[in-house]
Structures are given as structure tokens and as C-alpha cells.
Chains A and B, each alone.
Chain A
Amino acid sequence: MIEGIVEILLVEDNPDDIKLAQYAFQKNHLINTVHIVRDGAEALEFLFCTGRYAGRQIENPPKVVLLDLKLPLVDGIEVLRQLKSNPQTQSIPVVVMTSSREESDVVESYKLGVNSYIVKPVDFDQFTDVVQKLGYYWLLLNQSPTLEA
């Protein structure tokens, strides 16, 4: 999957959520552009093209990052902070997806410059709707700014 152009980076450690997300992407014909990382550390390596992803070009960032907050190693809030504080990555749109309704998470995420924040609903139909809307919005309608190296 690394070879192709990554349009969506899904940062998610829960295998069930991954499966469900993949199903939803598939239904919306987005699956080929999705790359999945399982923890915060891997997400940072991918985004900053280091470690396991040293061969990646930072000039080709994903069109959107779907970021879970509760992650192993480095949590989602920290990933978001690093992403938004680096000029090379700060314009990548980030959608925080979490099962948390905790207000502090919401406030913190918006403070760090998150582009959207959705609470993963228990109802799978709603989840599918969300993924579908995301796909249209971020991949088709929303043009990310051209990066100046």
C-alpha cells in the first residue's frame, strides 16, 4: 500500500474499528487509497517520513488523517500537536474520530487546530454515513493547499 498514493491515513488501534472502517471505505470505493497505522508512533513516522516510512516523500502528504485519540505509545492528542506545530504538516486536514465525548478532548483538539471532530457512534449505519461524507468532503470537494517546500 505504500507504493500507491495515499489519500487517507487511518490511525486506529482497535481491529474491529479497522474492519468496520475498511468495510465502510470499501462500500464507498475509497479502500485503495487508505493506509492504516496502529499506533501514534507509527503515525508520526508515516507523517514525517521517518523510521519505517523513511522512504516516503513528505511532499506527498495524505489528503486527510482520520485520527483516533486513544492510541498505544503516542496518544492522538500528541500526534495532533506535532502535526499542527510543524509547518510542513500543519496544513494536512485532520479529523479526530473517537468514542470519547469527553469535553476536555474536544476542547484540546480544537485548540490544536483539528479540522473536524466526530464521535464514533455505536450505530454502524451512522458510522458508514460519516465515512461517506468524509470521503466526499475531504477527497473530492476540499482541495488541500499546495505545499511549499
Chain B
Amino acid sequence: MIPLTPRILLVDESSADRESVRQMLSRDESTAWQFVEASTAEAGLHLCRTTQPDCVLLEYRLPDLTGIEFLNRLKTETDQTTRCAVIMLTCQGNEAIAVQAMKRGADDYLPKSCDVESLICAMRSAMEKRMLRQQLAQHRLELARLSKAERNATLKADSAVQAFRESEKRFRTMVNAMPQLGWITRADGHVFWYNKRWYEYTGTTPAEMEGWGWQRVHDPAVLPVVLERWNACLVTGLPFEMEFPLRRADGQYRTFLTRVQPLKDRDGKVVQWFGTNTDVTDLHASEALQLALAGGQIGTWHRNIATGEITWNDQCKRIFGISPDSTVTYERFLNSLHQDDRDRADRAIQISLETGADYEIEFRSVWPDGSVHWVAAKGRAEFDSNGRAISLQGAAIDISRRKETEQQIASLNADLERRTRELQDANKDLEAFAYSVSHDLRAPLRAIDGFSKIVLADFGSLIPDEARQYLIDVRTNTQRMGLLVDDLLQFARLGRQAVQPQSVRTEDLVRRCLDELKPTWEGRLIEIQIDNLPACRGDPALLKQVWMNLLANAIKYTVKRSPAKIEIGGRVNKDGLEYFVKDNGVGFDMRYSHKLFNVFQRLHRLEEYEGTGVGLAIVKRIIQRHGGRVRAEALPEMGATFSFELPIEGSFK
């Protein structure tokens, strides 16, 4: 588009030529041309600046400058973007000038001889070019403006991103530095980042933990509850808080307080979750410790060595019988002790401060009311890097009741020892008595028997038969009493004789006993059956006594049977070894079986069966001392079975 009234600047020294151009263009009725004219280059340049022509028709040959120089000046002195269109119109035509002019910014080059249509066409074209140039410039300007704004915007965005990155870096550094475990999840709970502490604590790798991998460090017993609550928070968007155990790299579980905060966008939609796990195990332990201290009525105290300041908790003050609001000094502490314990306590504390060894003392605290209380105290000194004692701290507990109990126990023990000694003395007396019986009771019996025998042997013919029979009875009785004394002594000896256990081949032992007893059944018919007799552990001499007594009984009480039958056997059962001696003898009534194993208890008349009534008591005592037990089963006239059990390993008394 060209302006409706284009302003044309004619720069030509020749006024005739200027007139000729004006005349030529005025013939064009479609355009209301306006003209300004200059005869020199300088005037032309001036008018360019002041009148802002749309198009300049420039003669090459000017009085002051050439057309080229004009173009140069125009180029440097005016705004290129708004500069007018320039057509070089000259008679001085040659191609070199035309090229030069075009290079210097001329829009076209025409000879003055050109026709009007060519001129107008060239002018229009130049002006259109100028218009386009102006528009282009404007567009460029706009573009430049726009691109600047855009660049600014981008710059801003960049710095925001940068700031965000910085912030996130700082955040992660901070989260990595904090002692808690920390992590970030997506809105759906998928964990995409853990801090270093997490990996250090759990000993896991990012690959293992990504997403929902954290479940593997949870206690399987607690995990379902954790998942339930966490999933609920993911749905509601509410913060999560819970305590649960997490497994440490070494496999140990520690308790963590876990908090998860949602990060929301402007619309309140959860974007991420930020979680922390704080180890509260020690906190709990410390709470537990406080509880324990309170529950155990344990006084605690702390002494600053440099300042001498001493802090006691209330319980500690209670232990020493002083009011909770009173202040404590080391001297006051020492003075509150029983005077006999002061030096000892002070020394223990000083040694601990010098050597660093813990101290543990018991002392008496004398309360202001004069009452005496036993206290046990433990203390430990803390030292700085130079080995200087900084503080001393510890705990104290009232042990008065324990002391009281200890004294009671000591007194009971003394009592027990005294009674044991008395019993031992009594036992010695009994031993002495038994020894004395052994000597003194047997001597007169021997005399009675001896003199009766002498009377019978040397004076038998002088006394009546009846008297002689009585003397024989005297001898029978003295001999029986001798046996009784012997048995009784043996029974008494069992009480103090030590059981010396060794492995015993029972079958050999039984056969030896039967050999020794053989003379007692001379002339009788006895069928003896020996079954399995397992070996055992026991005192061979004492066990021999058991078998001798049981076998002798079986032989004795079958005296009226022919054939007499004696069965001997044994077996291993779950409690130990069991042996028995079974006979087909006279038996006894089970109603009296409880008397059977007692001393001097006899179930048969003496004239029927000889005996002192001590044999089974000896059996019972020996078996009991081997940790076993005895049993008897019988029916009158149907035989008897005596059995005894021995523990396999033996628990000898």
C-alpha cells in the first residue's frame, strides 16, 4: 500500500529537470502527488529529516555530493527502518553507478529519459517496498519485543527450576543428614526415594526398596495393621502416624515412630507423601527405666565433681530420710551415714574416682529421727579425655528389709547349725551306745551261755532232767538274744555307713548268696529258678545283705513245702530296675503288710519261724539309701513276692 498523497522529494540541481518530473507525474490523476525540492545534497538530506518524504528522486550529479555519497549519508543519518524509498533518476547512467547505488540503499535506478509509466511504476514499487520495509521493521520490533518477553519468561522459568532444584537438593541433603529415616512417595504410595539413613539402617538397596519393597523390613506380625492404616491414609489424604518395629541390618528390630505428611497442590490434591521414621526404642527404654526406677523405689543421684553440685531425685532423698526441698552436699551425705560406715563409704567413692572402677557399697543411713536404714549404693565416675573425673552418678536402694531377712536367715541358719550339731551329738551318743551294746551286752550273754554250758557239761548228771531242759532253754534264749543284738547293731550301722556304688553283676551276687545259704536247707527239696537278672549300680556289700535277707526269708518261710519253689528275677522298666524273690511259702495277710518292713515286727510266731524281725527293716533301709523302694505281695498260705526297685543311674543317700 502506498499513501494516498505520497510526498516526493526531488533532489536535483537543475530546476528544469525538477519541473519536468513534476509535470510528468501530475499527469497521473490517480495520485495526489506532493512535492518538496532541494537543489543540493545537504538541503535534500535536511528535508529528508524534516519532511519525511515517502520517496526521494535523486540526481546522481549534485553540486556538493554525488548521489552515492547522498545515499551513504542518508543511510547513516536516518533511521533505516523508517527511511524513505529512494530512486536514482539521472542522466549519468552507467551500470557501475547503478550497482553502487543499489548497494547503498537505492530502491531503483532510472534514466531521466524514462517514460512516466516506468517512473510511476518504479516509485510505487519503491514505496511499497518501503512500506513493507517499515512493516517488516515493525514486525521485527514486535518480534524482538515478543522474543525478549519470551526470553524473560523463559529466564524466569529457568531460575524457578533452578531454585526448585536447589531447594530440593537442600531438602534431600537435609533429609539425608537427619538422624531419622526419611522417604518420599508418589500420590499412590509408591516410594521413589529414601534417604541414606534408611539404607544404612535397613542394609537394603534402592532396587529392593523401590515402590512397596519397604514391607520386607517390617515385622510380619505388625505389617498387616501398618498396611491397613497406610492404605486408609492414601485414600483419605490424611496424615499418617504410627509406631511399629523396623528390622535393622543386623536383624534386630527397633521401634520407630512414623509420620507421613501429604504434599498437596493448589486444588488440595495429594501430589506426594513425605515420611519419616524416628527411632523411639531408647526413648521407650528410658521411659521404662523411669518407671522401673519409680517402681523399684530406686534413688538416683548425680554429682558434678568440678562444682561439687549434687542432685538427688526425690526417692533418693526419701531413702536418706531428708525432705524433697532440701539441698544436698557431699558432706551432708557423709554425715547422714552411720559413723561406723562413713570412712568406708568415703573410701569406696574416692577409689572409684581415682581408678574409674564402679563401686558398690552397703551402709547404714541414720535419719534425722535417729532411725537406722540399710542402703545399697552403686556408683560410676565419668572422665574427660584427660582422665579427669567429671561426674559421679549412681543409684541407691533401701535394703533394710533385705538386711532384716538376711539377719533372720542367718539366725535361722545358726539355729539350724546348732540343731544339726545337737543331732550329730545325739548320733554320736547313739553310736557310742551301739558300740557299748556290742561289747557290754554280749559279754554277759556269753557268760550266761558259757556257765550254763559248763553246768550242763560238767554237772549234767547231778541235776534233774527238767532242770537240764531249762538250762538248755536258757542257752537257746541267750543265743537268740546274741543274734538280736548283732542284727540290731547292723541295722544301726546302716544309718551312718556311706553307700559306695559300683557296677554289680546281680546274677553272680545272687548265686553267691545261694551258695552261702545252702547249709540252711540241707535235706530239703527246693526248686530254685533264676530268670533274667540285669546288672545294676549299688553298694555290693549292702546289696548282698539285701539278697541274703530276702533269699533266707524265702528259704525259711517255705520250710513246710516240698518241693519249695523260689523264683528269682528282674527287669528293666521305665523307672529303673526291678528285682523280685517269689516263693510258694506260708505268705501273709496283706492287711498287716504295712508292719512288714518295720524293726522287730514279725507276722509269725517265733516257734514256727525263727527270726529277729530286723531282716526286712534292713532290706528296706538299704534300698532306700540306694534311692529305691521295696514292696511285698502275698496271700496267706499262697506264697509271697518281695520286690525292690533301684534307679538306673542311682540317687544314693
Contacts and interface: CB of A to CB of B under 8 A. Distances in A.
Interface string A111-132: 0000000001111110100000
A127 B453 CA distance: 11
Contact of B446 (A23, A101, A102, A121): A121
B438 A101 contact: yes
Among B435, B446, B481, max chain A CB count under 10 A is at B446
A20 interface: yes
Interface of B is mostly: helix
A20 B442 contact: no
Nearest to A125: B453
Interface in A30-60: none
Contacts of B454: 20, 23, 124
Given A99-B439, A124-B453, A17 B489 contact: no
Interface in A7-22: 14, 16-17, 19-20
B439 A100 contact: yes
Size bin of chain A's contact surface:
10 to 19
A39 to B, nearest CB: 15
A127 B451 CA distance: 12
Given A101-B489, A125-B453, A120 B446 contact: yes
Interface string B386-412: 000000000000000000000000000
A101 B486 contact: yes
Interface residues of B, number: 21
A11 B454 CA distance: 22
A23 B445 CA distance: 17
B443 interface: yes
Given A20-B450, A123-B449, A102 B435 contact: yes
B438 A16 contact: no
Contacts of A23: 450, 454
A124 B450 contact: yes
Contact of B479 (A99, A102, A122): A122
Interface in B43-62: none
B479 A123 contact: yes
28 contacts: A14-B447, A16-B446, A19-B450, A20-B450, A20-B451, A23-B450, A99-B438, A99-B439, A99-B442, A100-B435, A100-B439, A101-B438, A101-B489, A120-B446, A121-B446, A121-B482, A122-B442, A122-B449, A122-B478, A122-B482, A123-B449, A123-B479, A123-B482, A124-B446, A124-B452, A124-B453, A124-B454, A127-B450
Interface of A: 14, 16-17, 19-20, 23, 70, 98-102, 120-125, 127
Interface of B: 435, 438-439, 442-447, 449-454, 478-479, 481-482, 486, 489
